[in-house]
Amino acid sequence: MSEKILTMKLLKEEYGVCRLDVTELIPEWAQNRGFFSITRTSDELSVVCAQGNIPNDIKCERDWKILRIEGTLDFSLVGILSSISTILAQNGISIFAISTYDTDYILVKNNDIDNAIESLIKEGYEVID
């Protein structure tokens, strides 16, 4: 593709995706500077934050990098996550996605990040760091 679709930014830090018991309070270590996400359901408390802040005794999947879609995404836009996840799936890359009011964040394991970036660029995405 020759036309740029969207710009994504690679965040510098490595992140962890943690599972805590539903009854636990939101931990202080999760609320660091920069990116973090906390989701509570009836079954669990999930925390995504900088890996360096996570205590060793926490159930956690480590070594994630984050690609953030740059700019504010309008709610009327359709298929952004679908497009990105399809490109990455076709290249054997698993993701963990988080959406906020303004944009989407795509977590990719550190050992797949170079392949993910190359795959996205090949399909017309710009990736900056």
**What's the chain's average pLDDT?**
91
Q: What is the pLDDT of residues 59-87, one digit of tens each?
A: 999 999 999 998 765 555 656 888 999 99
pLDDT beneath 70, residues of the chain: 1-4, 72-79
Question: Does 2 reside within a domain?
Answer: no
Question: Does 85 reside within a domain?
Answer: yes
Question: Does 1 reside within a domain?
Answer: no
Question: Does 45 reside within a domain?
Answer: yes
Q: What is the CATH number of the domain that holds 83?
A: 3.30.2130.10
Question: Does 60 reside within a domain?
Answer: yes
Question: Does 74 reside within a domain?
Answer: yes
Question: Does 69 reside within a domain?
Answer: yes
Global model pTM greater than 0.85? yes
Are the C-beta atoms of 10 and 66 separated by less than 8 Å? yes
Domain coverage including residue 40:
7-128
The number of distinct structural domains making up the chain is 1
Residue with tokens 């996605």: 97
